[in-house]
Amino acid sequence: MPTGIDEDLFPNTPEASAHPANRLPLFPEFTDDEEALFTAADEVRRQEYGTDVYVRGLIEFTSFCRNNCYYCGIRRDDRELTRYRLTKDDIMRCAAEGYDLGYRTFVLQGGEDPFFTDDMICDIVSAICEGYPDCAVTLSIGEREHESYQRYYDAGARRYLLRHETASDEHYHILHPAELSPEHRKRCLYDLKGIGYQIGAGFMVGSLAQTPEYLLEDLRFLQELKPDMIGIGPYLTHHATPFKDCCNGSMAMTLRMIAILRLMFPYALIPATTALGTIHPKGREYGLCAGANVVMPNLSPTGVRKLYALYENKICTGELSSECRGCIARRAESSGYRIVVDKGDVRPH
């Protein structure tokens, strides 16, 4: 099957990954304690998933959003932002390209955009499922009604990413306007789980006013929810948001949280996120070495990528999908792991 990857340049074999020349010098810029934590997390990840890294093709299909989260670069009140929506044909072209590149999971992500009715979402989901029966469709389109989530599931979607953002009500109201409620967001996660989705929760590290106590609340909430996937990344500023003067989150703290999550949730699917790759050139490699086992390269058409700018300096906005795929394989291998062509379901837990 064509992978679109130059296998000579990016040999994707266990032998290549195991070769010492292909391993990153482990954690040159961290403390001994951090290195010990990351190494412990990596041991657990290897017991559970070996050196496998799952790839998800991320299709950012709409930058319209009805919400006004104070931190987010596609918030409703940014009237200057050029918005876009992909058509079903655009999305199907992304999926076709992604399939040829070896992706077996497609993540449809966007702002909360009521333009995409339930009928439209179901139509897109079922077209991908029919065209690519060996692939999983993940949705990440925010808070919707139970009935809508059920319809997407019936159409074939099996996974849903909805970061809880912060488990603390108090902190939630610092990050969001009053019209958004932490209870409703959590309710959505439980609805999705009840329907049978593999669910992904998560939060930003270093968002305004975040304290260690709030992070502990996040961990306790995750223990209760038991999500299949946990996505975290550093908070990064965007010039056109109310939080434009806030500092970025820290890479080291994000990596510590990834490692703690791996130790607490050995079975979990944990991405080395684009935000981590944005805050540091080797952020995603370090993420993998600290316990992450998923990467989500961009599959959106290159022409729109810059418009889905949740934060400043987002990486991968000028590259072709094939370039991201090759780049990510090389990054995984340089860290001692290997990308697998697999749907990458969560381990039973």
The residues that touch ligand FES, with contacts defined as CB under 6 A, are 297, 316, 319, 323-324, 327-328
- Nearest approach in angstroms of CB 310 to ligand SAM is 4
Binding flag, residue 258, ligand SAM (CB under 6 A): no
- At residue 255, the 3 state secondary structure works out as helix
Q: Which is nearer to ligand FES, 10 or 152 (CB)?
A: 10
Instruction: Report how far residue 137's alpha carbon sits from residue 18's, in angstroms, rounded to the nearest whole number.
Output: 32
Q: Name the minimum Å distance from CB 169 to ligand SAM.
A: 17
Alpha carbon 241 to its chain's center: 22
The distance of closest approach from Cβ of residue 341 to ligand SAM in the complex, given in angstroms and rounded to an integer, is 26
- Binding characters for ligand SAM, 175-204, by CB under 6 A (x = yes): -----------------------------x
CB of 161 to ligand SAM, least distance (A): 7
- Nearer to ligand FES by Cβ, of 250 and 302: the residue is 302
- Residue 53 vs 310, nearer CB to ligand SAM: 310
Shorter beta-carbon distance to ligand FES: residue 128 or 328: 328
56 binds ligand SAM (CB under 6 A): no
Q: How far apart are CA 324 and CA 328, in angstroms?
A: 6
Burial 2-35 (b: 16+ CB within 10 A, else e): ebebeeeebbbeeeebeeeebeeeebeebeeebb
Burial 75-113 (b: 16+ CB within 10 A, else e): bbebeebebbebeeebbbebbebbbbbbbbbbbbbbbbb
Which residues contact ligand SAM (rule: CB under 6 A)? 71-73, 109, 111-112, 140-142, 162-163, 165, 204, 233, 235-236, 238, 275, 310-311
